[in-house]
Amino acid sequence: MSLYHVQNLAVQAFRAVAQGRNLSDELSRILAAETDLTVQDKGMLQDIAYGCQRFSGSLKFMLGKLLSKPIEQPVLEAYLLVALYQLNHTRNAPHAVVNEAVNHIAKIGRGQYRSFANAVLRRFLREKDKLNAQCKYDDVARYNMPAWMQKKLSTEYPKHWHNIVTAFQSHPPLTLRVNRRHCTAERYLSLLEEAGLDGKLLDDYAVRLTQAVPVAQLPKFDEGWVSVQDFGAQQAAYLLNPQNGENILDACAAPGGKTGHLLEWADCRVTALDIDEKRLQKVRDNLDRLGFQAALHCADARDTEKWHDGVLFDAVLADVPCTASGTVKRNPDIKWLRRPDDAAKTARQQEDLLDALWQTLKPGGRMLLATCSLFEEENQLQCRRFLSRWPDAALREEKTVLPNEKQDGFYYALLDKR
């Protein structure tokens, strides 16, 4: 498969996000349809598609500097931005990138944009250093983030927001959770070294790979020795601390990373809920690979009459829906898909869910409120509202995990039922 075809697919993905669709879902759709793509083609497509979202602010800024007036043809703009990403952030041969992009653009309309595109891209090559230097004078270009999100993060995290936005422009690490029923992280690190792979210990049961590889290359992956899970997400099991014999609910469980972690941790009984049957199948697949069983229910967690048998839980993991603003490093399209009032909307949705889950928890039990968001409405403020509604709830521990080189951003609040 050629650079020409991969470029075209990357433009499809870019346009899909511009129309409000999720990048991960769109890439899955493309990869399912494009069965002839090689491993190298898939890697290139993923790099371009995610890179264009990660650096969209600076790419659009630099393109604007090369134009005398805005482009009104969306497909033309998409091809130019994809090409700019390749010229600025990859090792693709510049002449090949320009030629293939111009060939694509020549097919738009009656070919009237061919000369224009060629001139724009070649001028970018001549002025690349100057244009990149100018990005630091425009905040959207400098931080590759919408102005409203910058303002929100700087208000809520005045001491840390620069580090957060810097982390959001980096590539996410491939982090492994080592199944403690099989070995320790130190032991698994030696297996990686035997396989010619480098990694770094994060704790007794977590390893970060120096370079991401397909899971098929990971020693004993199919045997359930390790799972791919962000280090920040792994903190949920540490905080909930499941015990042998406990009856635990994992609400909103898909894709099942935390479900598997709970069962690795202790000989407990787990009920896993998700409202989407396709996503629930991912939980089932993960548990099958790990060799565990759980009671799986496809249901709205708020509608307890449809799934709850009345037996109260010792612990509840309330991994509630949110804006996922802490995972921008991993899902850079989130920056451009979210809107300023989204956190308030999801916070209202979370309230009914948390209230329903609290009523399935036995007195003396505990519930872990978990989100992969950094926004206060969904986190600290949500927790305070919950405590005000439920006098039998007490906050035992609250933890905000900030995104950095080893993890995404998360919020956790461990609540005791008195």
Task: Supply the residues annotated as catalytic.
Answer: 372
> What is the spatial distance between Cα 224 and Cα 62, in angstroms, rounded to a whole number?
46
Q: Which helix (H) or strand (E) holds 149?
A: helix 147-156
Measured CA to CA, the distance from residue 78 to residue 53 in angstroms comes to 11
CA separation for the pair 378, 349 (Å, rounded): 10
Contacts of 79 (CB under 8 A, 6+ apart): 7, 11, 101, 104, 105, 108, 117
Residue identified by tokens 């010619």 is 196
H-only helix segments in 157-297: 161-168, 185-194, 231-240, 257-265, 277-290
| 64 touches 150 (CB < 8 A) | no
Q: What's the DSSP call for residue 52? A: H
Determine how many CB atoms are found less than 10 A away from the CB of residue 158. Answer: 9
- Among 41, 39, 40, 51, residue whose Cα is nearest residue 13: 51
Q: Which residue has the tokens 């950095």?
A: 404
8 Å CB contact between 392 and 365 = no
Inter-residue contact 375 to 325 (CB < 8 Å) = yes
CA distances from residue 127 to 66, 98, 115 in whole angstroms, order as listed: 9, 15, 18
Helices (H), 242-389: 257-265, 277-290, 334-337, 342-358, 380-389
Give Cα 186 to chain centroid, integer Å: 27
Strand order in the sheet with 393-401: 295-298, 269-274, 247-251, 313-319, 361-371, 410-417, 393-401
The residues pairing with 369 across neighbouring beta strands, listed in sequence order, are 318, 413
Count CB neighbours of 303 within 10 A. Answer: 11
The torsion angles phi and psi of 309, rounded to 5 degrees, stand at -85, 5
The answer to whether the Cα torsion of 55, 407, 278, 379 is positive or negative is negative
